[in-house]
């Protein structure tokens, strides 16, 4: 079964010159894009399969899922850091995570979906994560 859907990468803006600060969707794909598939602790680029989302301030200690608190970490660094802050773990971030400022109006794209499982995996990458 083949069907076609339009996957909005970002929220559509109605007022072009007033870009809201939350314009870029907080999604897995965009976090990977922002961090350039690079572990923010060791600088490694092990490939997307080996990268995870790390909460800088751990979730168990009140850390939120936001642009400023989520970075890519390789499996090894994620395991090593565990439920600690970068300071406690002595694992400084290579750079402070920020909300991207890409131009959202040009970020739409069409995605051809060939199967439900591919659709689900597309959703895995593009769905807005809970903050
Ligand atoms: Zn690492």
How far does residue 24's CA lie from ligand 1's centre (Å)? 25
Cα(80) to centroid(ligand 1), Å = 9
Mean pLDDT per 10-residue segment, the chain (131 residues): 56 48 79 95 94 96 95 97 97 94 57 64 80 65
Q: In this structure, are residues 77 and 91 in contact, taking their beta carbons and an 8 Å threshold?
A: yes
Question: How far away, in angstroms, is 72 Cα from ligand 1 center?
Answer: 8
Report how far residue 80's alpha carbon sits from residue 113's, in angstroms, rounded to the nearest whole number: 38
pLDDT of residue 129: 84
Residue-level pLDDT at 7: 54
What's the 77 CA to ligand 1 centre distance in angstroms?
A: 4
Q: In order of start, what are the domains of the chain with their CATH numbers?
A: 3-7+22-126 (1.10.30)
Distance from the alpha carbon of residue 109 to the mean position of ligand 1, in angstroms: 31
C-alpha of residue 127 to centroid of ligand 1, in Å: 25
50 alpha carbon to ligand 1 midpoint, in Å? 10
pLDDT at site 12: 47
pLDDT at 5 (0 to 100): 59
Q: How far, in Å, from the CA of 79 to the mean position of ligand 1?
A: 9
SS3 per residue for the chain: CCEEEEECCECCCCCCCCCCCCCECCEHHHHHHHCCCCCCCCCCCCCHHHEEEEECCCHHHCCCCCCCCEEEEEHHHHHHHCCCCHHHHCCCCCCCCCCCCCCHHHCCEEEEECCHHHHHHHHHHHCECCC
28 φψ region: left (φ > 0), alpha (ψ -120 to 50), beta (else): alpha
pTM of the model as a whole: 0.67
């Amino acid at each position: 079964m083949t069907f076609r859907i339009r996957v909005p990468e970002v929220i559509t803006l109605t007022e072009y010159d007033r870009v809201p600060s939350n314009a870029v969707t907080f999604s897995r794909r965009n976090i990977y894009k922002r961090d350039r598939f690079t572990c923010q602790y060791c600088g490694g680029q092990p490939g997307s399969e080996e990268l995870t989302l790390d909460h800088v301030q751990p979730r168990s200690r009140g850390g939120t899922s936001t642009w400023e608190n989520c970075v890519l970490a390789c499996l090894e660094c994620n395991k090593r850091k565990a439920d600690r802050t970068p300071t406690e773990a002595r694992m400084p971030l290579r750079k402070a995570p920020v909300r991207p400022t890409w131009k959202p109006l040009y970020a739409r794209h069409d995605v051809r979906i060939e199967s439900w499982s591919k659709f689900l995996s597309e959703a895995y990458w593009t769905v807005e994560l809970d903050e």
